[in-house]
Structure 1
């Protein structure tokens, strides 16, 4: 059964579910700036809008648009800027 989580005063909402092979969340981010932490390896794909991301240990920001993805190692933090509401799909654990 899916579960709904809200963060940052309800400006980020995610729905957790299990794909055929791994856990995942699909969510929406409202305009703003956020810092996220990982507990395990994550792959985030933008499905609507764009996410501007400062990856761990990076000096520069990168913008990821619809269809693009990025990955974050476990136990890292990363920053995200959202200029217009955006949606994402996040899968957890390295894919086989």
Structure 2
């Protein structure tokens, strides 16, 4: 079953699904800066464009172009920003 979620007045949208017993989402981030909280650990893979991320414990943003990923611990949060629309896949670890 697919689930659709919209965040930040439609600027971030995701489709959730389960594959091989693991939850994942695929989505798009529009131009802007956004904060997300995490329940479980996550791995974000940028599949198109570029996302800038400020991960827990880091002072500044780092660039993650298409083909790269970053991990976020559970029960934490992270900031992302995009200067152009970017697509991602998020795996819940």
TM-score, L = length of structure 1: 0.94
Cα deviation code 1:7-28 (max 9, x no counterpart)? 0001100000001141000000
Aligned residue pairs total 93
The answer to whether the aligner puts 1:30 opposite 2:21 as a matched pair is no
2: CA distance between counterparts of 1:2 and 1:27?
A: 12
| Aligned twin of 2:4 | 4
3-state SS in 2 of match to 1:9: helix
Q: Which runs of structure 1 show a deviation greater than 4 angstroms over 4 or more consecutive aligned residues?
A: none
| Aligned twin of 2:18 | 18
Structure having the higher strand fraction is: 2
Q: What does residue range 74-93 of structure 1 map to in structure 2 within 5 Å?
A: 74-93=74-93
Give the RMSD, CA atoms, in angstroms: 0.7
CA drift at 1:60: 2.2
Could you list the runs of 5+ residues in structure 1 that have no partner in the other structure? none
Could you list the runs of 5+ residues in structure 2 that have no partner in the other structure? none
